[in-house]
Amino acid sequence: MLDFAHMKRWLMGAALAAMCCCAAQSQQVGCDGAAAVTACSDLAAKIAAVLTDPAVARAHWGIKVTTMEGAPLYSMNEAQFFQPASNTKMFTTATALALLGPGATFETKVMAQGSYSAAGRLAGDVVLVGAGDANLSGREIPYVAPAMRPKVPAGQTPPPGPLALRYLDEMADQVAKTGLKTVNGDVVGDDTLYPWEPYAQDWSIDDTVWGYGAPVSALAINDNQLKVTVSPGEAAGRPAHVAVDPVAPYYTVDTSGLTTGAAHSGSHVEMERAMGSKVLRIYGSIAVDAHADEEEVAIHDPAEYAAAALKSMLEARGIVVTGVARARHRISNDARGFLLASREPLPAIDWSKSYGAASAALEGTVLARHVSPVLIEDMVVTNKVSQNLHAEMFLHNVGAAVAGDGSTVNGARVVRAFLTTRVGIDPDDFIFFDGSGLSGHDLVTPRAAARLLQYASTQPWFADWKRTLPIGGEDGSLVERFGKAPLKDHVFAKTGTLGEARALSGYLDCASGKTVIFSVMVSPHAPGSSADRVAMDRIVGLIAAEE
């Protein structure tokens, strides 16, 4: 058994090795002799002291720090694999920005397929065609940092935001204005731009119930999730209240096991849905004096849900639909193993051009259309709040635009080609099974993250990409970290959390006035603990002070 005394001696040995590494690296980049070596050794010793804390000593750590030019400053386990979690989004979004261009847009259409008469009768289907737009929702774009949002006086309820299905409503209005009166057919949600691969390999089955694990579809609606609010009833023992937003005919909600608990008994609400089921079971109790419990629940089949919502909207406008709402999926027949297929070379890519967005080639009459915000504004949202679905759609969209097919594996092939051919990352330094980092199979080295960050800083799209990263103490997933001087507003980095893995990689303004690149990763750490995050933030502070 390895006790803490042995562990401490082992870690100090590792620290000495890191010091030697630092010293050699300092000399390689022409640092000023002994002074530079001493400063680097001091940093190694201080980091080692942080990592000897028993709360984090059992975890596996990787660190890479370089200058903006890529010259090494400090490293620990830089070539070893870690689970990147949402650091994966950096690799996905950089690829998408470079290949699709910051101004790319995605056009969703409503089409009439069949025989369309002048009398407003359609013998055929109304088809809602998904084109990879992640923002058919009530989200306000551009992203606004919390400090810039209007302040709501204490005790007042914030005003409601835009309706979740506002763009679907607008397209229903456009359809009505065409004079369409009767649809002798179905309303179809078509997401065939991507094959129907709703979940990447090794996504946890537990995640698929929740909004952060929502299925991937080329026809995304309201982030493919519903807000479910559970409020206490009027008295203990009475049924609790459940509200679903947006309201559309889709899930059956079973609340037979849900009740209102006694005062001060807390909230103990659980939600579950079997794979493939449209029954959402909500059970447990919520105290009569408790605040409402709000959860984001994934929509099982977004294309089918969007079709059902559009059908209701058309009928509300007096258009008769004789058929049903249904989804049209494209089922993949690719039987190749993912690892081998994702490494297959692509036909020549023209790295000098912007490919823009691909779209499904469907015949029919266009009845309505909606154009998305530009790609860079969605990318800001994606990286700031670490939005998994949007990152997955970037992956599929680069596959569709560059490789001619929006499958997961083709997206991964494009990302791999970009990272190895353009960025110069060792092909054995990363394995990505998805675009968001939700897959437990994803692996990356700290030096690969640092190399991406250095490459990005040399590109014409760097200013756009850097502004997508959360800012310490200001916004996104760093709004509650690095909130005090000297780090506030001086850490620009992507976070990552998945199970017992955590990562933070980005740019850091240092006390010297220099900006450095850093990547800190840990996996695994002790379950249910945030000590690794505290240690990680201390390490960032040490880098800023020493460099």
| Residue 158 confidence (pLDDT) above 90 | no
DSSP per-residue string spanning 470-507 = -BTTTSGGGTTSS-STTTTT-EEEEEEEETTEEEEEEE
Q: Which alpha helices (H) appear in 208-354, and where do they start and end?
A: 302-316, 338-342
Kindly indicate the confidence band of residue 14, based on its pLDDT and cuts at 50, 70 and 90. very low
- pLDDT on residue 117: 87
Kindly indicate the confidence band of residue 39, based on its pLDDT and cuts at 50, 70 and 90. low
Residue 490 phi/psi, 5-degree rounding, is: -125, 10
For residue 456, what is the enclosing H or E element? helix 446-456
What is the mean pLDDT of the segment spanning 173-188?
98
- Full strand arrangement of the beta sheet holding 293-298: 241-245, 225-231, 293-298
Chain mean pLDDT for the chain: 92
What is the mean pLDDT of the segment spanning 181-210?
97
What is the mean pLDDT of the segment spanning 338-353?
93
pTM of the model: 0.92
The CA angle 204-245-132, to the nearest 5 degrees, is 60
Kindly indicate the confidence band of residue 40, based on its pLDDT and cuts at 50, 70 and 90. low
| Residue 7 confidence (pLDDT) above 60 | no
The gap from C-alpha 446 to its chain's centroid, in whole angstroms, comes to 20
Strand partners, 94: none
What is the mean pLDDT of the segment spanning 161-188?
97
| Residue 21 confidence (pLDDT) above 70 | no
- pLDDT on residue 4: 38
- pLDDT on residue 28: 35
- pLDDT on residue 248: 77
Contacts of 236 (CB under 8 A, 6+ apart): 260, 261, 262, 263, 288
What is the mean pLDDT of the segment spanning 124-135?
98
pLDDT tens sequence across 214-261: 999 999 999 999 999 999 999 999 999 999 999 877 899 999 999 999
- pLDDT on residue 34: 44
What is the mean pLDDT of the segment spanning 257-271?
96
CA 303 to CA 473: how far, in whole Å? 38
- pLDDT on residue 119: 87
What is the mean pLDDT of the segment spanning 110-138?
96
Kindly indicate the confidence band of residue 121, based on its pLDDT and cuts at 50, 70 and 90. very high
Contacts of 248 (CB under 8 A, 6+ apart): 165, 305, 308, 309, 312
Percent of the chain whose predicted confidence (pLDDT) is above 90: 86
Lowest-confidence pick of 11-25, 104-118, 281-295, 405-419: 11-25
Q: Nearest to residue 193, comparing CAs of 472, 426, 397? A: 397
| Residue 1 confidence (pLDDT) above 80 | no
Q: Could you give the domains of the chain?
A: 85-102+373-546 (3.40.710.10), 107-328 (no CATH)
SS3 string, 393-436, reads HHHHHHHHHHHCCCCHHHHHHHHHHHHHHHHCCCCCCEECCCCC
| Residue 13 confidence (pLDDT) above 50 | no
Residue 160: how many other CB atoms lie within 10 Å:
7
